[in-house]
Structure 1
């Protein structure tokens, strides 16, 4: 079944990097979208940059332009031209563009319109790569579903830890597949996109591994706009296992400004949790953190919660309701998001007594498993 996938990859990679220069992107959309604006953005340098636009005419659109290299892009169709901020009125899809033609056909019969893309050397390579990766991704998804059922629904901590380790094993196979792909296809724009994925927030790679992976790409890719952006991101990356956790100054519940480092004690391990009172997954995690705290606190396990609530009253109300026995800090400006390289809550980071990060995504079965390894069962 996979033969066609590898044949497709071989065909598109035989000549190295996909050609670049002038791109063509055509689209077929519902006639009800007549006159709606269509905007093309590049998305591989950290921020979406609009590089082309058109409007729907007779149920179709066409974008043409010149790129100096294959680019990872996103197309947005604004169903309300006067309000381009409402995500419910914006239809988007990702696409790789080079100098070969891509056609996008929209199926608007579903609640969320879906685009099917055909053509394009780099886009076809990306689709073949994703198809080859899919069996591994489904294995991880099944393992994760089993973990959720055991740890949260059945509240079987022992089985949850075992399944969390199985999820890690499946994730490791995915990571190995991606790394091998990059090293086997160093001239491919798809490989650069994979490097960006592997070196993104909460990466399990250390800095040396990230630099080695980027260094496996051709000089042309490394010197492209996306390559330079990736190199700068790796150079400035701070939230990596083995690196010190950046310090922050934030007020506690009494309004006294404290440092995160004040709560990290020699010989102890500390869970630093970024959360919010309105975040239901955060609130749902508290009983399991409490269970771990009660089991391991006497052995040297500490917890520090940092809330991103903008309303201190809501935060204090949640503290009264949850009655957590560990210290709390308030981060109304969300400085922790940039400092800890995250955009979502909950974010869970386990650090050692010297403030070094020893586990990212340290929640649920992963937290319990880490504490078992540190303190024993």
Structure 2
């Protein structure tokens, strides 16, 4: 859950756009005058590959900096970073588009971007998301966190809907797609450019979301093929729909929240195994050695399977881990994402 909050906020903290003609100007103001003389780089970002391309550079004068240039192409992401990272100068992302753009560092909220239509839209979205994140840092229950995530998705959805004809909307689409309903997904793709809707990743995403909705509407688990610790193919149906409740736990050795949650799963398994609980761990690790090492170190004595090819994760639309499903003896999904005290409470209710 925290991963998703962090992940959604990180995606939102990188965007902006609009103006007159084809020229643009960025005027920036920092809070630290000791940065005078620092070299800043203007870079174009490719959110799909993570690559950047240096477009220009400038020198901070006092606490101010400027960039000027042409924005003849469609609105796109640019980021301003220090040439030499110093831990003081922030990385500031905006949408390169015609007009006068103002970037101002703020002591309590990072930085703000304004001056053009799309940048103003983005700043409002960013402010709303940050406010929700602050609320999230104060809540303690899973229900409260899920409600805040839903609100964050709604804020980002509204921005993406207005900007699906340019890369800013397309990139935000990717950050929330798995949290959307099929209706919302269609709403965004209806507004998108044909070239975007024909991307293989987008087509796969549509299928995944539709499969998830079908699963949730029927409350029945979907059978998937994964591999066991020996590399043999095995179906989830080999363990589900028998005589026990089954907790399916998607996790990975590199996922800190997964490892932090594991003692709760160990305790639940020890307490409820004799009462009719089975646990099926599905790791998304690609490195077998790391996977099995984590299994041993965390005393995970239940069934261990692997989804390195992502098939099961796609069918269940797993976007963040840990992700769990509690399935009854008939194959009905009775709960999702139970963790900590919530997991024990539900199991105590079902297996007194």
> Shorter-chain TM-score: what band?
0.5 to 0.7
Residue 57 of structure 2: aligned partner: 55
Residues 19, 264 of structure 1: alpha-carbon distance in 2 compared, 3 angstrom cutoff: farther
Residue 309 of structure 2: aligned partner: 335
**Correspondence 1:259 to 2:264:** no
Residue 81 of structure 2: aligned partner: 77
Q: How big is the shift at 1:322? A: 2.9
Q: How big is the shift at 1:288? A: 0.8
**Distance in 1 between the 2:20 and 2:239 partners?**
51
Q: How does 1:158-169 map to 2 (within 5 A)?
A: 163-169=141-147
Q: How big is the shift at 1:208? A: 3.4
5+ long unaligned stretches in structure 1: 1-16, 81-85, 148-162
Q: How does 1:3-42 map to 2 (within 5 A)?
A: 22=22, 24-26=24-26, 28=28, 30-34=35-39, 37-42=41-46
Confirm or deny: 8 A CA contact 1:270 1:303 kept in the other structure: yes
**Correspondence 1:293 to 2:265:** no
Residues 177, 49 of structure 1: alpha-carbon distance in 2 compared, 3 angstrom cutoff: closer
Confirm or deny: 8 A CA contact 1:23 1:97 kept in the other structure: no
Residues 360, 181 of structure 1: alpha-carbon distance in 2 compared, 3 angstrom cutoff: farther
Residue 103 of structure 1: aligned partner: 102
Q: How big is the shift at 1:53? A: 0.4
TM-score, with length taken from structure 1: 0.62
**Distance in 2 between the 1:233 and 1:65 partners?**
36
Confirm or deny: 8 A CA contact 1:40 1:75 kept in the other structure: yes
- Say which SS state the counterpart of residue 44 (structure 2) adopts: strand
Confirm or deny: 8 A CA contact 1:242 1:357 kept in the other structure: no
Residues 96, 339 of structure 1: alpha-carbon distance in 2 compared, 3 angstrom cutoff: same
Confirm or deny: 8 A CA contact 1:52 1:65 kept in the other structure: no
Q: How big is the shift at 1:265? A: 1.7
**Distance in 2 between the 1:106 and 1:57 partners?**
16
Confirm or deny: 8 A CA contact 2:248 2:324 kept in the other structure: yes
Residue 270 of structure 1: aligned partner: 247
- Say which SS state the counterpart of residue 272 (structure 1) adopts: strand
Residues 317, 224 of structure 1: alpha-carbon distance in 2 compared, 3 angstrom cutoff: closer
Residues 322, 347 of structure 1: alpha-carbon distance in 2 compared, 3 angstrom cutoff: closer
**Correspondence 1:250 to 2:249:** no
Residue 340 of structure 2: aligned partner: 364
- Say which SS state the counterpart of residue 291 (structure 1) adopts: helix
Deviation string, structure 1 residues 2-32 (Cα, Å, up to 9, x no partner): xxxxxxxxxxxxxxx9568635242557344
- Say which SS state the counterpart of residue 335 (structure 1) adopts: coil
Deviation string, structure 1 residues 24-65 (Cα, Å, up to 9, x no partner): 24255734433x54312253xx34465760122464452523
Q: How many corresponding residue pairs?
A: 314
**Distance in 2 between the 1:213 and 1:323 partners?**
44
Residues 91, 179 of structure 1: alpha-carbon distance in 2 compared, 3 angstrom cutoff: closer
**Distance in 1 between the 2:78 and 2:331 partners?**
39
Deviation string, structure 1 residues 326-349 (Cα, Å, up to 9, x no partner): 022467xx43499547687x4324
Residues 198, 97 of structure 1: alpha-carbon distance in 2 compared, 3 angstrom cutoff: same
Q: How big is the shift at 1:77? A: 2.7
Q: How big is the shift at 1:171? A: 3.6
